Every structure is written in structure tokens, then in C-alpha cells.
Amino acid sequence: MRVLIITGTGTEIGKTVVTAAIASLAVAAGRRVAVLKPAQAGLVPGELCDVDEVARLAGPVTRSELARYPEPLAPATGARRSGLPPVCPRRAAEEAARLAEGHDLVLVEGAGGLLVRYDREGRTIADVPVALRDLGVDVSVLMVTTAGLGTLNTTALTAEALRTRGLPLDGLVIGSWPAAPDLAACCNLTDLPAVANAPLLGALPERCAKHDRKAFLPIARAYLAPELGGTWSHRAFLAQHPEPSRI
């Protein structure tokens, strides 16, 4: 049994597509996969929630969602403004542990960045792996980050916050690699692992979620590293996207 917390450096950076890519490869390998979204916020009519989007791209996964808030806000703020109950990270950990009993892999996708508040007490998705360890469940963390200018600071801060809590960071994945990477993006392929002190384990191409399940699987395999079930090589990707010569 294994639980993987998928967090990020902010919102709208590709956490859901990374979750789907990992799930897609695990399902294709015959593993039993569950996907948990503790809190979902701000869906417009007709829009798929994150766990449904993962299932659309990955195939048969068990889906679990603990709370849904109408406005696109942090979970604690959404709960306060809607009058709905907040999600306690301990409850999310208990649900992940329950799912782990019947699945080979449980993916827990956070909302926004690592330290976005889930309740009035200021608890965050970072409290979920702590609670899972207390429950005796094997857990680790994957960070989704961005490619371009500014990502080194937010990545370093997120990694530092994890370290101060004694939480293991499996690695980083760039949630949306641009079709025409600029100077910063190319340099960040080298610098991101350095500032996070964790390996870069993939770089999913931008807009890859527009594909259907059949087309998405080979993309997931080509752009995620073997540690996540794919074939992507950081070294080979660096060679394909070398830093431009200095001016």
C-alpha cells in the first residue's frame, strides 16, 4: 500500500493532469488506483471536477471527494463563505488510509499550494501526510511546479516547508512544459532540482489534457520518469532543451 500526496507551488499549475498521468500509468500496469480530492472549489456548470477529469484521462480509478465549495477560493475561505463544514486534514488522512486498504496506489491531490488553509485552525494539506504517518501508512509527497521565471523561489519555499515538517519529497514534476521554452525554462531544468534538493521526474507538455484517454497514456509514459511509471529521462530532456548561449 502506498499513498502519494500531490501538492504544488500554487493553483492552476497542472496538479490534476500530473495526477492523471501517474494514475494512467498505474492503471495500465494493472494496479488498483484510488484518487482523493479532499476539497474541490469553484466549478462552473458542466465542468468536470478534478477526480472526474483524472478518471476521464486515466481510466477506471476509485474516486473520492470530501467537500465541494461553490466559489473558487481556498478551502477554509470557501467553507466560511458558503456555511459548509470545512475539511479537516485528519479526515482526509483517514479516508486515504481507508482507500489504501483496497488499492495499490492512492493519489491525494491538494488544492492550490502546500500551505493553503483547509480549516479555521490553519491546517493544510501538509498535515495529511503527518496524520497518515501517525496511522502507520506509507506516504510520500510529489511537488508540481511551473517551468518559467519565478518558479525557483516558490519551489524552494515549498520544499523548505516540507523539510521543516520532516516530510519526504519524492521529486518534482513540471505541470506544463511550454511548446517554445524561453531562457528561464531551459535554465530551470537544471536549477529546479538544485533548489528543491529533489529529482526532476517529468515535464508534461502544455495542453496535454485536451487529449482523450487513448492518446493521453503514451504522453504520460513519455513525459514521466521511471519512478512514476514512465520512460522520461531528465538527462535526455536537458539535451533536447539546452540553455542558449550567453549574450
Residue 38, H or E segment: strand 33-41
Mean pLDDT, rounded, of the chain: 95
Q: Are 198 and 142 in contact (CB under 8 A)?
A: no
Whether 214 is a known active-site residue: answer no
| pLDDT of res. 1 | 56
Nearest Cα residue to 119 out of 78, 171, 58, 61: 78
The whole model's pTM is what? 0.96
Where is pLDDT greater, at 168 or 30?
A: 30
| pLDDT of res. 75 | 95
Mean pLDDT of 122-140: 95
Exposed / middle / buried, residue 180 (Cβ in 10 Å: 0-12, 13-18, 19+): exposed
The counts of H helices and E strands in the chain are 9, 7
- How far is it, in rounded angstroms, from Cα 182 to Cα 39? 34
Mean pLDDT of 11-19: 96
Mean pLDDT of 114-123: 95
Predicted confidence band at 43 (pLDDT cuts at 50, 70, 90)? confident
Pick the catalytic residue from 15, 37, 210, 214. Answer: 37
| pLDDT of res. 83 | 95
Q: Grid coordinates representing 217?
A: 497514456
Q: Grid coordinates representing 161?
A: 516547508
Q: What is the pLDDT of residues 62-108, one digit of tens each?
A: 999 999 999 999 999 999 999 999 999 999 999 999 999 999 999 99
